[in-house]
Amino acid sequence: MLSLVIKRLGMMLFGIMIAWIMVEVFLRVGYDALPRDAQSILQHVRRVPWDEEKLVPPFPYILSREHQAMVAPGHKNYPVHWGDAKFTFDTISLWDMPVGFRTREPQWPVQIVALGDSFTFCWTDFDDCWAERLHNDYGYSVMNLGVPGTGTLAHQSLIEPYVKPLEPKVIIWQWYGNDFKDDYDLDKMRGNVQPLPEPPQPETSPDYGTFAEYSTVYRLIRDWWYKQDHPVDDHGFVTTVNGRQVFFTDELGANDFGYASVEHGWQRGIATLLEVQQLAQEELDAEIVILIIPTKEEIYAPEELDDDFLRKMSEGRLRLRSICEENHWHCVDMFDTFQEAVKSGKTVYHAFDFHLDASGNQLVAEALAQYLKAHEDINFE
């Protein structure tokens, strides 16, 4: 009798083990089809137990006191999967320098250099990026020096070692709402400012132990159990827009000028732009075109976000536009173009990630090409 019980227990354990393994395989193979929350929980689990590669490899940021953040040259087909944004990228080196760029080799003479953050690096396939579209669709010779996680001060640091040798006639200087906070962060990293009050940082995932790095099932169970006593605020909501589910944040974060760190970044960022404009006139023989990218929340303006929130979310963009008008700078604000596109049914942004999708990048390329053609003082000769 005892042996029969042991045998049945053994069979049950064997069945549970097989079922566990099948679920582990299913969750890995079907990862892309899982709900966004489940993907977020499982992204740090190993793809296979015997290799350290994660289901979603972390973005290969390298912190730099000089450049704020870098991506090393030499990446080949490096995978990125943030929310519904999924692509791979390669990076090249210029003159054996340490910063890698997602761009083509220089085609002389170089007409345009693009400086910016992840919106210039582009959260799309390479050919869908607005900088590459300026080359493929409009015939410009473009070098894309966009580096994710950087702001205005960091972009300035690329001028001497990278922009000057390329001798472009136009520098497209892309701006996004978190740039002023990035400028404060780099100033703090360099020791140029004492710590100031900052917007709250996103909550980090708790440490569920070593086994959670290997097992998707265990990580899901541990996460569910943890959240029973530690509810997590997603800092946003999902609503239906033009027939698709879209995620929006309800936190101002780095766009909140109520924090001294963001206000400091504003002052440093604008001072840097004034320096760069003067440098372009006196040394670079180039025109600077500031490309202003609004947030998804500003463009869609879902009814769940009140007018006061949207006003505060737009403050940095409108401040910069005012500076552009006062100083007669070349500036292209994509706000009106994006809003009209959304009204006509275009997506413009990824549904869950906050970056531009392929359609948004195409709109940027079109707007820039039209602007460059319409302004006679921008000369590529």
Per residue in 127-175, pLDDT (tens digit) is 999 999 999 999 999 999 999 999 999 999 999 999 999 999 999 999 9
The pLDDT value recorded for residue 226 is: 86
**Average per-residue pLDDT in the chain?**
93
pLDDT band at 308 (very low <50, low <70, confident <90, very high): very high
Rg (CA), the chain: 24
CB 175 within 8 A of CB 292: yes
What is the rounded average pLDDT of the residues 14-36? 85
Choose among 75, 27, 34: nearest CA to 48. 27
| DSSP 8-class letter at 356 | B
Burial, 8: exposed, middle or buried (Cβ in 10 Å; 0-12, 13-18, 19+)? exposed
Q: How many residues comprise the chain?
A: 381
CB 31 within 8 A of CB 24: no
Q: Using alpha carbons only, what angle is made at residue 77 by residues 204 and 130, rounded to the nearest 5 degrees?
A: 85
Does pTM top 0.75 for this prediction? yes
The pLDDT value recorded for residue 1 is: 64
The residues, any chain, with a CB within 8 Å of residue 215's CB and separated by 6 or more, are 24, 45
pLDDT band at 82 (very low <50, low <70, confident <90, very high): confident
What is the rounded average pLDDT of the residues 43-66? 89
